[in-house]
Amino acid sequence: MDPNPRLAGVWMAQVITLLPQAFPGILGESLTGKALKDGLWQINPIDLRPFGEGRHRNVDDTPAGGGAGMVLRADVMGRAIDHARAAAPPGAPLIYLSPRGKPLDQAMAKRLSQCPGVTLICGRFEGLDERVIKHYGIEEVSLGDFVMTGGEIAAQALIDATVRLLPDVLGNAASTEEESFSEGLLEHPQYTRPAEWRGLSIPDVLMSGHHGEIAKWRRKMSEDITRERRPDLWNASSDKPQKP
């Protein structure tokens, strides 16, 4: 059921899903794809269907108490989780992608990048039997306040945000230190050649060669953008200027 043998010492994402063919998907492209080919991380999609019940390998049933839709069965998911955990690196968190979960943020991605890997559960239909979540102490994680048809896209987003923080994946550690959310602020604007485009010029300070002034400008831009667009981040930031 697991197509890939585990690579020793490599960060591994296990993904329990009804759509194993969706992986690696976009994760197999660009920098994450190159890192995957270079063995800097590993992905192991685990097909939920073979753990299903009966001749037709059923994985869901009607909600207890009535209601629309179907719910992923506890016994089926339990077998899949036990199988995944037997091959998971010790200490890998177990996460269920769910709209009621804790929002995915940069701090979470950094924490997960420091783990040996992660096991992700992609929900479908009306979700997962609550007893499974309680029994395994599963962490629920959300992309935001909206509902998707399944957890696969959310799983790919979580993996992408995490893998890019692994050593040697980006090739430039400074880029992860200066980008959005690294200090609780949104990133400053970026510019490149040509110096003038359709009547719009690169700010003079960026062309000055004065690194101290450039750093001040970038910091101010980050603060201004965060204050305007994400007041929640601004109010929570410990790095914002203090009132005298």
- The b/e string for 39-74 (b: 16+ C-beta within 10 A; e otherwise) is ebbbbbbbbbbebbeeeeeebbbeeeeeeeebbbbb
Q: What is the pLDDT along the chain (244 residues), one digit of tens a residue?
A: 555 677 888 999 999 999 999 999 999 999 999 999 999 999 999 999 999 999 999 999 999 999 999 999 999 999 999 999 999 999 999 999 999 999 999 999 999 999 999 999 999 999 999 999 999 999 999 999 999 999 999 999 999 999 999 999 998 654 555 566 767 899 999 999 999 999 999 999 999 999 999 999 999 999 999 999 999 999 987 556 655 4
Q: What is the pLDDT of residue 244?
A: 43
Instruction: Look up residue 25 and give its two tokens.
Output: 């998907």
* Domains located in the chain, CATH noted: 11-163 (3.40.1280.10), 179-236 (1.10.1270.20)
Determine the Cα–Cα distance for residues 29 and 63; give it in Å rounded to an integer. 39
